[in-house]
Amino acid sequence: MNSFIYSNTNKRYHTLDYFYKNKFHSKVFKVSLNAGFSCPNIDGTVGYGGCIYCSKTGSGEFAGNKEDSLKKQFNTVKEKMLKKWPNAKYIGYFQARTNTYAEVDTLKRLYETVLSFDNVIGLSIATRPDAISEECLDYLKELNEKTYLTIELGLQSTKEKTAKLINRCHSLESFENMVKKLRQNNINVVVHIINGLPYETKEDMLNTVKYLNNLDIQGIKIHMLSILKDTPLEELYQREHFKILSKEEYIDIVIEQLELLRPEIVIHRITGDPKVEDLIEPKWLIKKFCVLNDIDKEMVKRDTYQGKKAKKKD
């Protein structure tokens, strides 16, 4: 019998589906969009070339085609979902690259276009902590008062050596300061982390989660490192052949990370979802549902659950 408080299934962690159903009393889908943004880590503002694992689409593998209008991108996904869930609601997910990296007037036009679509109940905006200006923050505060808003920030790792290696080009301090600013404005924060980054140990990956558990965040996305074709990461891998986590190692680390996270933190993602044709390694990532099922089985076997070893936020 599963007694985890934030679950109505066999899951022993706080799934996004559970969260949405309890908050909105409806099936809710995130619709990935590509609004054609750039990134300060690509255009030279803070760095060149982006993070070493980013594909040409800029971390938006499943976002829409930027040549299409936001309406067309949105409807392409919505039409598929409507067949199975005719009463579903939607959250517009600005996913590809850095989605606050523009003038506020541009952001208003893009965001409010999506909010005008039928049954859209909120926005999720993926960005960097160094790409939210004070003017943008003021607008996000205003937006948060009229819709369900989530800001997604990429941290990936707390280890400084790793941050330099992956060419993240923003500091842990800037990340933490932005989390505080967003929370002072009552804006929900979801943080992306990556397991299996080159030369990181299990302890490094657990330390990242321990750090985040002590911050006022509302959600987390846990990814497995994908080595994709035509990226600087692929070049590094071909040159140095750094260790890649096995599926069993990944599952072990994820479960220990879940144990360290407060149970109210929503787990938005728990594995990677790369495009098969672009994936160099690890090949086991292709079978996403096997990974998810194996995490569930192992948690039952260990009789554990999210938050079992969590310390309360200071």
CATH architecture, range 16-302:
Alpha-Beta Barrel (3.20)
- The yes-or-no verdict on residue 170 having pLDDT over 90 is no
Distance CA 99, CA 124 (A): 10
The partner residues of 126 in beta bridges, in order of sequence, read 152
Q: Which two tokens stand for residue 300?
A: 């039952």
For the chain, give every domain's residue range.
Answer: 16-302
Tell me the per-residue pLDDT of 55-77, one tens digit each, with 9 for 90 and over. Answer: 765 444 456 677 889 999 999 98
Tell me the per-residue pLDDT of 6-60, one tens digit each, with 9 for 90 and over. Answer: 998 889 999 999 999 999 999 999 999 999 887 766 666 665 666 878 776 544 4
pLDDT score for 82: 84
Distance CA 276, CA 166 (A): 22
- The residue type of 41 is N
pLDDT score for 275: 85
The partner residues of 124 in beta bridges, in order of sequence, read 93, 150
pLDDT score for 60: 47
Question: Which three-class secondary structure state does DSSP give residue 123?
Answer: strand
Question: Which three-class secondary structure state does DSSP give residue 83?
Answer: helix
Distance CA 288, CA 247 (A): 11
Residues 306 and 263: beta-carbon distance below 8 Å? yes
H or E segment and range at residue 93: strand 89-94
Q: What is the DSSP letter of 147?
A: S
Split at pLDDT 50, 70, 90, the class of 293 is very high
